[in-house]
Amino acid sequence: MTARALLAVAIVCSGARAVAQAPASAPQDAEPEPINDSDGYTPPAEATQTFTVDGYIDVGFAKAQGNGTSFAPGDQTIPADYGVDTFAPAVNSRGDVASTNSNGRFVNGFLPRSAGIGGNASFLLNTLDVDLKYTPTTAPLMVFSRVQFLPRFTGSGDETRVYVEQAFGRLVPFDSQEFALSAGKFDSVFGIEYLDNEANIRTGVTPSLVARYTTGQSIGVKLFYRIQIEALQSAVSLNVAATNSGNFVEALQPPDASLTGEPVGAGRLGYELNTRGIQAKLGASGMTGPRNDQALQAAHQTAYGFDARVAVAGVYLNAEYVHVDEGEGGPKTTSLGEFPISSSFNARGGYLQLAYALPFSVGPLRKLTVYGRYDHRHAWFEGFTPITVDRFTGGLRLDLWESLILKAEYLDNRELAGAPTVANNVFTSSLVYSW
Amino acid sequence: MGCAALIAGGACSQAPAPAPAKLWTLFDVEALSATGATSLGGADDGLPGGLRLDHILTGSSLFPRQTFSESYASEYVTTEVWANYPQVWTQPMYVPVTGWTGGVPQLLVDATGVWHPVFGVGPPSGFYSPFWQTIYFDVPAGTPTNAITSGQQVLDGDYPQHEGGGRTVPIVPQDVAAASPAGPVAGKGWLNGGPVYFLDFGKGLFGWDPVTNVANETPIYVFLMRDAEGNLQAPDIPTVAGDGPPGTHATSVPMIDGLPRYASYWRIYTVEVPPTARIFSPDPAQQGALQALGVPVVTLYDPTVVADNPAIVGRIALNPSDPSIGQAGCFDTDDTADYGPDNPTTGHCLYLDSQANVENNIDPGAIQPTNITVTCPFIQYKTLTETPIL
């Protein structure tokens, strides 16, 4: 990896992800072009290198309150996952929770992946990530794959899932334009939190309470176009995709096949302001199409959202609002299994995150970042009591050398209305090695 | 070429989507009736013709549907219909109690002595069901009956809980509760902080798996006959209520407080009767309805047999007589037409009027489960009102 590449990694890992995109007219001075239209998404390519192997290892240590779930003792309502927020006790950047064990109570597939640690303090190997990238010198093409190994305790033994999170080719047909066509399995185009999916990029450890709706990868085709407006130190971008499952995480909607035969459309219109003193990115996103956890084309899901990222004087602000509606459909299938009913569902929520990177470097310490996030989520299944929850997250991040990150954070989950109060706060930490 | 690329050309084909699960409560039946609809469910759910709305609600009144159980005429009402639900689950019904006397809960009641349960789930959720597991929770004496009105309050209150039995209590529109037939007890409870109205059919009408909370099913039989074109038709005649699980040839149900306690949760099974079977249908109007369906009808009856056997009207006999075509059979005499389950008369009618008679006399291949299940608590057995076990 070259010095330029290492610099880029340091930038993206420092929380400075809101920095400027390069003007099209001065590509030689630009930040490395992101693979997936995002800054900091993967290590950048070298002009002369056609094949790279990158990746990271995310080792965690976490302890959740209670039994590691959001299920309340004494609650016998069926399904168990409709009246609580099962995603609240997250322990890693993937959104895996400490546990989803309902002790035999019926659940209907509104569940995240589980780390299987319950309420025990435990070390975790959250992710072993291997990225392969090939850039031929003879074509404006880039091929990328991201394969992840996910060792988990299932309750009845250990199991390592091999997950192809991304695999796509990207064509940039015009040298003079920021115009790219991608096909394969790629990141979401909705909002901004997908940019932080990977543990080696995310400022903190855990995703927000609305990440489940916006950060999922899926298979399809994507078009990205950005035009620079130099006079205004600005750019406007459009990122649209047609995929099997839209932007829901794979635990909620399987991305690897269309269950309805009709693609889900999604897109984001973005504006960027890139000045020396302030960088800002604003966006509006939308998604519509059949819900891909069932087979009826008439069962639609729609979502829209707004996002903002501002970086000024070492302070980084990320904020996002998401509005999701799903219609009732047929029998439900998620990546976790089959369930009898896909109920009508609605959610509104968002988060506000502030991070401050202290500008000093001592020995191996390259950067110290303190961060906090507030999440709020209001959601309901048809016929069930709407639940309102929120979460305060506070954490600290150390960037050591150029390839090691240590993060620790505390999640204070609160049930504000509709859901029974349950002890489901989490302490979690993450040690990320990148190469 | 990928499927997405073919969509524009309409060339993409998918396997038929599985039928969606549907639940109709009495709120839905009222709304459907107001639109002029006449039935729900149908051939796609395995039940030709579906279920007539006016056999569920007539105005605000539950329709007393005739059935035969253990060969006797009975009546039930229908309060929920599910289509394409492989199973239905019990839900928690929280009941505040102020104490226990000899193991008997002392219910928290209002000034008029009425209790008000708190329901965990209600319509229009697809997971609502009227099959509740009673969860008693201890509150101090004097607690206002409107102080705890949601499941969240119960759980957040950390009240001591005690698991109780199952109870069939449909949540119904207020006007339906007000027009309750004899038998169930109308009442008012709480759901998500607001009032709801219910009909209490009492305890002992269903069982469930304590691990999965899945309610047990019992078969109820609907008869099909073929018309001249060979199409299956569902004549408007009484059903047959089963006594036990399918295939068990069950012949009785538990007796509690002097009454047989039939199930309240049923899966509809269709029974295609043999082409020689006939309905005992001396009433001209009923004959007309059957003829309109195109199914075979006996039109000539001995007046004495008709006068002496009103209880056999609507039953299907496997060995009928039909004087109009010179066929002798069991409708010819009082003795042979009698429906008594132990009728000793040679040549007596083989009526399909009990689960045992159906399963003993019909090819199993002609008995098919539908995708429809129903809440149908009995309100009458023979001439006795089914008084709920409260």
Place of tokens 């069939």: B168
Q: Decide if pLDDT at B294 tops 60.
A: yes
Reported as a pLDDT band with limits 50, 70 and 90, residue B43 is confident
- Pick from A71, A77, A102, A338 the residue to mutate for testing the B interface (most B CBs within 10 Å): A77
Whether the pLDDT of residue A10 is over 60: the answer is no
Confidence of residue B204 (pLDDT cuts 50, 70, 90): very high
| Rounded Cα–Cα distance for residues B367 and B371 (Å) | 13
- pLDDT tens digits, A303-356: 999 999 999 999 999 999 999 999 999 999 999 999 989 999 999 999 999 999
Helix (H, G, I), strand (E, B) or coil at A150: strand
Residue A258: its chain B contacts at CB < 8 A? 3-4
Give Cα separations from A6 to A142, A435, B139 (angstroms): 20, 10, 65
Q: Which residue has the higher pLDDT, B14 or A185?
A: A185
Q: What is the C-alpha to C-alpha distance for residues B76 and B381, in angstroms, rounded to an integer?
A: 9
CB A79 within 8 A of CB A433: no
Residue A246 touches chain B, beta carbons under 8 Å:
no
Q: What is the pLDDT of residue B212?
A: 87
Residue A109 near residue A339 (C-beta atoms within 8 A): yes
Residues 6+ apart with CB under 8 A from A86: A69, A70, A71, A97, A100, A110, A111, A112
Q: Say yes or no for a CB contact (<8 Å) between B121 and A77.
A: yes
Q: Is the pLDDT of residue A4 over 70?
A: no
β-pair partners for A57: A128, A433
CA distance B342 to B357: 12
Give the largest Cα separation in chain A, rounded.
65
Burial A216-242 (b: 16+ CB within 10 A, else e): bbbbbbbebebebeeeebebebbbbbb
**Neighbouring-strand partners of residue A413:** A391
Confidence of residue B251 (pLDDT cuts 50, 70, 90): confident
Portion 203-232 of B in contact with A at CB < 8 A: 211-214
- Go through chain A and tell me how many residues it has: 435
Select the more confidently predicted residue: A265 or A16: A265
pLDDT at residue A145 above 60? yes
**A38 band by pLDDT with thresholds 50, 70 and 90:** low
- Answer for the pair B249, B360: CB distance below 8 angstroms, yes or no: yes
When CB atoms are compared, the residue of A262, A343, A383 closest to B7 is A262
Residue (of A55, A122, A65) closest to A92 by Cα position: A122
pLDDT at B197: 97
Confidence at B2, pLDDT banded by 50, 70, 90: very low
- State the Cα–Cα distance between residues A368 and B344, nearest whole angstrom: 96
Tens digit of each residue's pLDDT (9 = 90 or more) over B308-342: 888 899 999 999 988 888 888 999 999 999 987 78
Q: Are A288 and A189 in contact (CB under 8 A)?
A: no
- Nearest-Cα distance to chain B for A240, in Å, is 15
pLDDT of residue A115 exceeding 80:
yes
Per-position DSSP letters for A171-210, written without gaps between them: E---TTSEEEEEEEEE---SSSGGGG-STTT-SSSS--TT
Q: What is the pLDDT of residue B300?
A: 87
pLDDT of residue A139 exceeding 70, the answer is yes
Point out the residue among B13, B124, B155 whose CB comes nearest to the CB of A383: B124
Read off the pTM.
Answer: 0.85
Residues of chain A with Cβ-Cβ distance to B87 below 8 Å are 340
Contact call for B125 and A331, based on CB within 8 A: no
Mean pLDDT of B275-288: 93
Mean pLDDT of A197-207: 97
B157 CB near a chain A CB, below 8 Å?
Answer: no
The interface pTM score, or ipTM, of the predicted complex is 0.80
Q: How confident is the model at residue B343 (pLDDT cuts 50, 70, 90)?
A: confident
CA nearest to A246, candidates A261, A225, A267, A226: A267
| Interfacial A residues in 46-65 facing B (CB < 8 Å) | none
Tokens of A314: 């070492």
Q: Return d(Cα A122, Cα A116) in angstroms, integer.
A: 10
For B349-371, what is the mean pLDDT? 95
CA-based nearest residue to A13, from A198, A192, A191, A145: A198
Q: Given this model, what pLDDT does residue A202 score? A: 96
**What percentage of chain A carries pLDDT values higher than 70?**
89
Per-residue pLDDT, averaged over B18-32, amounts to 91
Q: Does A101 touch chain B (CB under 8 A)?
A: no
Distance (Å, whole) CA B294 – CA B316: 16
Mean pLDDT of chain A, nearest integer: 89
pLDDT of residue A206 exceeding 50, the answer is yes
Nearest beta carbon to residue A75 from set B3, B122, B155:
B155
Least confident of A111-115, A304-308, B221-225, B336-340: B336-340
Strand (E) or helix (H) holding A274: strand A264-274
Say which residue the tokens 């600005």 belong to: A234
Q: Please provide the size of chain B in residues.
A: 390
Amino acid at A134: Y
For chain A, percent of residues with pLDDT exceeding 90: 82
The overall average pLDDT reported for chain B is 90
β pairing state of B65-69 and B239-241: parallel
Question: Could you tell me which residue, B48 or B285, shows the higher pLDDT?
Answer: B285
d(CA A321, CA A305): 5
* Partner residue facing B128 (CB), from A72, A220, A383: A383
Distance separating alpha carbons of residues B193 and B147, to the nearest angstrom:
10
Question: Is pLDDT at A270 greater than 90 in this prediction?
Answer: yes
The answer to whether residue A157 scores a pLDDT higher than 70 is yes
Concatenate the DSSP letters of all residues of B128-187 into one string.
--SEEEEEEEE--TT--TTS--SHHHHHHTT--EEEEEEEE--EE-HHHHHTPPSSSEEE
Q: Which one-letter amino acid corresponds to residue B184?
A: P
Q: How much of chain B, in percent, has pLDDT values that exceed 70?
A: 95
Q: Is residue B11 pLDDT above 90, yes or no?
A: no
Q: Is the pLDDT of residue B18 over 90?
A: no
Give the one of B3, B135, B156 whose C-beta lies nearest to A258's C-beta.
B3
Backbone conformation region of residue A74, classed left if phi is above 0, alpha if psi is from -120 to 50, else beta = left
pLDDT value for B15: 58
Asked if A77 lies within 8 A of B126 by C-beta distance, the reply is no
Q: How many CB atoms lie within 10 A of CB A320?
A: 25
Residue A28 confidence (pLDDT) above 90: no
- Is the distance from CB of A229 to CB of A274 less than 8 angstroms? no
Give the DSSP per-residue string, B223-275. EEEE-TTS-EE--S--EEE-SSSTTS------EETTEE---SEEEEEEEE--T
Tokens of B262: 């039939």
| A341 Cβ under 8 Å from any chain B Cβ | yes
Averaging pLDDT over each range in B92-96, B124-128, B179-183, which range is the top one? Answer: B92-96
pLDDT tens track for A362-377: 899 999 999 999 999 9
| Helix, strand counts (H, E) of chain B | 8, 28
Distance CA A163, CA A5 (A): 26
Higher pLDDT, A63 or B250: A63
Q: Which residue is listed with tokens 């109570």?
A: A105
* pLDDT for position A11: 33
| Range ranked top by mean pLDDT from A34-43, B45-54, B310-319 | B310-319
